[in-house]
Amino acid sequence: MFSIGELSKRTKVKVPTIRYYEEMGLLVEAERTSGNQRRYDKAGLERLSFIRHARDLGFSIEAIASLIELQDHPDRSCEAATDIAVAQLADVRAKIKRLKLLEKELARISKSCDGQGVSEDCYVLASLADHELCHREH
Amino acid sequence: MFSIGELSKRTKVKVPTIRYYEEMGLLVEAERTSGNQRRYDKAGLERLSFIRHARDLGFSIEAIASLIELQDHPDRSCEAATDIAVAQLADVRAKIKRLKLLEKELARISKSCDGQGVSEDCYVLASLADHELCHREH
DNA sequence: TGTAATGTCTCTAGTGACTAGAGATTCAAG
DNA sequence: CTTGAATCTCTAGTCACTAGAGACATTACA
């Protein structure tokens, strides 16, 4: 049995965030000492590691709640869990696509002032002001 | 001179968002009719277009405020504006990098349940529970 | 000119996923 | 037994909006 601070150290999840997860129902309410402090065991540690890993992968709290729900009721869990992961993957791919377009435009905008040829009016500002200067949609 | 709704239509920025930008100081306070409604002209339209374009490119409100500040004081603006754009570009590239790692892992996790070989325990959940199963850091 | 529909006003509160801080209590070490 | 660190609950703040209530203004049409 260890304290919330210890759990925080082991999982690298900040203390207030752990309490927040408990409030959101991702973690079951922890046992308490006589002095009302939370105490955790291996099960608590594992669940929090699961949550942290999923958060690192960009799953929303809601999606994680669904995954935990599935863990607790393992019938059919594999298909449903895969659905959630696939949706997450699609989301990530969409974000990558969009960011790549932005990268292209930002690279173009940034580069134009890069060399010695400092022009009178700022190309960065002009580019932002006038969408027509973009080479692509976004 | 046109109304906030008209401005919204032309810039595709929602009406409450326009008011929010005004409150945040990105837009100067609009002129008002005798009945207290906001009226805009070409200058207002251009500034809002600028803001929208920058937001689309992921610039924060704060960064946009800096850019606008530079617009209003054009001495040295080009260098400073370029700095902001370059920082934004670095940010976008970092995000892309991270998302690509996530994509790789999510793809691996998602695929494992894909075919006919449905295993007893769910690989998605196991992967999330056990970071050791990851092939890379993230 | 009257009236109805639509637009606009301000204000407050909610979103997601935390983070920060106040003030009180509890724990662990010396 | 005392000190200092950790923990407790609670409220409020972050970012960039979005939603809704209730009141007032404008516009279109008869």
Tens of pLDDT, residue by residue over A21-80, are 999 999 999 999 999 999 999 999 999 999 999 898 888 998 898 888 888 776 776 788
Protein-contacted bases of chain C (C-beta within 7 A):
7-11, 16-21, 25-28
Residue A103 has which token pair?
């990268």
Nearest CB among B46, B81, B118 relative to A122 is that of B81
CATH number of the domain enclosing B14: 1.10.1660.10
A35, part of any domain: yes
B30, part of any domain: yes
Q: How far apart are CA A24 and CA A104, in angstroms?
A: 39
Instruction: Decide: CB of A25 under 7 A of nucleic strand C.
Output: no
Q: CB–CB of B54/A109 below 8 Å?
A: no
Instruction: Tell me which of B26, B47, B122 to substitute to probe the interface with A (most A C-beta atoms closer than 10 Å).
Output: B122
Helix (H, G, I), strand (E, B) or coil at B75: coil
Q: How far apart are CA B134 and CA B108, in angstroms?
A: 9
A68, part of any domain: yes
Q: Distance from residue B117 (CA) to nucleotide D17 (C1'), in Å?
A: 45
Q: How far apart are CA B131 and CA B138, in angstroms?
A: 10
- Which percentage of chain A shows pLDDT scores above 90? 39
A47, part of any domain: yes
Q: Are strands B38-39 and B31-32 parallel, antiparallel or unpaired?
A: antiparallel
Q: Minimal Cα–Cα distance from B126 to chain A, Å?
A: 9
Q: Report pLDDT for B117.
A: 46
Q: Distance from residue B121 (CA) to nucleotide D21 (C1'), in Å?
A: 51
Q: Minimal Cα–Cα distance from A45 to chain B, Å?
A: 11
A50, part of any domain: yes
Instruction: Decide which of B127 and B50 is more confident.
Output: B50
Whether the CB of B126 is below 8 Å from some CB of chain A: the reply is no
A110, part of any domain: no
For residue A123, with 0-12 CB atoms within 10 Å meaning exposed, 13-18 middle and 19 or more buried, which class applies?
buried
Total domains, chain B: 1
Q: State how far Cα A64 lies from the chain centre.
A: 11
- Neighbour count for residue A22 (Cβ, 10 Å): 17
Tokens 């349940």 sit on residue? B113
A2 DSSP assignment: B
Mean pLDDT (whole number) for B5-25 = 94
Amino acid at B38: R
Q: Report pLDDT for B46.
A: 92
- Which percentage of chain B shows pLDDT scores above 70? 86
Protein-contacted bases of chain D (C-beta within 7 A):
6-10, 15-20, 24-27
Contacts with B, A 27-56, CB within 8 Å:
46, 49-50, 53-54, 56
Q: Minimal Cα–Cα distance from A138 to chain B, Å?
A: 7
A41, part of any domain: yes
- Tell me which residue range forms the domain holding A36: 1-73
Residue A102 has which token pair?
């932005």
A121 DSSP assignment: S
B118, part of any domain: no
Angle (deg, nearest 10), helices B4-11 and B42-56: 40
B75-96 confidence digits (pLDDT tens): 666 778 888 888 888 888 888 8
